[in-house]
Amino acid sequence: MDKKENQHDIIDEDLYEEIDDEELYELVQKEREKAFAREREAKQHHKPKRPFPKWAFWLIAVALFLNVIAIIPRTFSLPAIDFLVTSAKLSLQEDIQAYKEAVVTIETDDSKGTGFSITADGKILTNHHVVEGEQTVIIAFPEDGLFQAKVTETYPSVDLAIIEIDDAEKVPFLDLAERAVIEKNEPIRFIGNPLQFNGIANQGKIIDYTTLESWKEAVVMIQAPVYRGNSGSPVFNEAGEVIGIIFATLDHEEYGKVGLFYPIDYYYKYKK
């Protein structure tokens, strides 16, 4: 993915860490599974041996316990737990469940991102950097399955891309706001595919507009848990309309690490 960075705007279009807590957890789980498999195999080929010394057993047990204690803070960091718990709570809401059906996973050879359908025949919006260099991509709807889609239009200056499914008859879609009304501290919700997860709903609030030296258009900062894979996530207002698309994070001098989205107005402006 192409990263737009300069000395003043520290933008991360890959959206956070080189290795994250969930990836680390997945690695730990795989190693545990391997250990259990070795243990089962050893039991199947077990031969009677001298009793294992109790002191050695307890020494190994203490060592394993200390290792687990050392891993837990990295594997289950509070931010990671918080954003999953929040998603679980939001996902109990009927409107969020309906929105999720129209949010897709976009797979390319070397990346994974988010997009969302805006028409029943499968017109999908996402970030340009999610599909950059691709002519076709694989789209996965949560309920409607896999589709092949063509990248039909791209607008790199606002990191927007339009994808169209060839043979979709009727797929779920989201309603777009006629224009994005941006107010400070306004609550927002968004749905995407961060880290190793799909269909994660989350929430935050609008901080304000900001300008980037690498962009002509103003973008919106949000205080929210935005991670890698959230590129292309739709941002909803309280009425359930899409008001913007998440595309990056920013290290801000005053607010720290924030999410960035551009208003849906830019879709109307650039698609003409």
**Dihedral through CA 248, CA 252, CA 255, CA 260, nearest 10?**
-20
Of 129, 175, 214, 252, the active-site residue reads 129
Asked whether 85 and 163 are in contact (CB, 8 A), the reply is: no
Of 111, 117, 231, 233, the active-site residue reads 231
Of 9, 14, 144, 159, the active-site residue reads 159
Active site residue 129: yes
Active site residue 159: yes
* Residue in the block written with tokens 């791209």: 154
Q: CA neighbours within 13 Å on the CB side: how many for 73? A: 4
3-class secondary structure for 209-222?
Answer: EECCCCCCCCEEEE
Start-end of H helices in 1-140: 21-44, 54-75, 78-90, 94-100, 128-131
Active site residue 252: no
Residues noted as catalytic? 129, 159, 231
